[in-house]
Amino acid sequence: MNQECSCENCELKELFFHNISSNEMMSLCNSRIERNYEKGDYINEQNKPIEDFTYLKSGLVKLFVTNNTGKEQILYFAKPFDFVSLLSVFSHSTYSYSVMCIEESTTCNIPIKEVKRLINENGKFAMGILEKMSTVSDNVIKESLEIRRRNLRGRVAYVLLHFADNIYKNPSFELPINRKEIAEYIGMTTENVIRALTEFRKDGIIKIFGKVIEIVQYDTLKQISEHG
């Protein structure tokens, strides 16, 4: 469904497209499409043709790759104001990873041919695209390195703090992923993740109420995250 947008208030312009003219901005507004998704829906699928430049307006998604045996590896969790198609949108004709909603989400989609046209015609816009691509790549690499330098307990603690500090801004939150997905993200087994969470709960560091996690001893969890 096409949506009208104000050039003065458009989130895309505020975040990214301040380097294009008002006429170019209006062209993007007229061509963009908003889509709503339920938890578990795919936004992009690995190996499917790239047709849109996709921006996450609301919700939460996971970016992941699936190998030949069907095993998934989660690369990154994207939150509102992230561009979720930048990792392969200009290097391949098909997506090299999938994007799936882990909460109800809304995306803003611009036809990729429209974005490529602006890149060819507007150097400042092209530079903005390169800067954003660099930021996304840097974040993915940084998170991967941060996780892999930790032991099991440190990795699980890192994930809990990531959701508390960076996603929900609250020490109590409903964990949007299951134990298997945590394991896929940190490169450990599901059994190891369950064991670590059980230890944290028994030690009084966290409380678990179904899917709700409450961090009770934040400093202790932070120390575990840093030193294992």
Where is mean pLDDT largest: 32-41, 76-85, 89-98?
32-41
pLDDT over 70 (residue 5): no
pLDDT over 60 (residue 218): yes
Q: What does the pLDDT read at residue 128?
A: 80
Contact 39, 104 (CB under 8 A): yes
Please provide the CATH number assigned to the domain covering 11-146.
2.60.120.10
What is the arithmetic mean of pLDDT over 135-164? 91
Quick one: what percent of the chain has pLDDT higher than 90? 52
Q: What does the pLDDT read at residue 3?
A: 45
Where is mean pLDDT largest: 63-77, 98-112, 193-207?
193-207
Please, which contacts does 45-50 make with residues 24 or more away whose CB atoms are closer than 8 Å? 45/95, 45/98, 46/94, 46/95, 46/96, 46/97, 46/98, 47/94, 47/95, 48/94, 48/95, 49/93, 49/94, 50/85, 50/88, 50/89, 50/92, 50/93, 50/94, 50/95, 50/112
Q: Which of 1.10.287.90, 3.40.50.2300, 1.10.10.10, 1.10.260.30 is the CATH number of 150-227?
A: 1.10.10.10
Residue 68 C-alpha from the chain's centroid: 23
What is the arithmetic mean of pLDDT over 57-68? 92
* Residue-level length of the chain: 228
Query: pLDDT band at 91, cuts 50/70/90?
Result: confident
Q: Where are the domains of the chain?
A: 11-146, 150-227
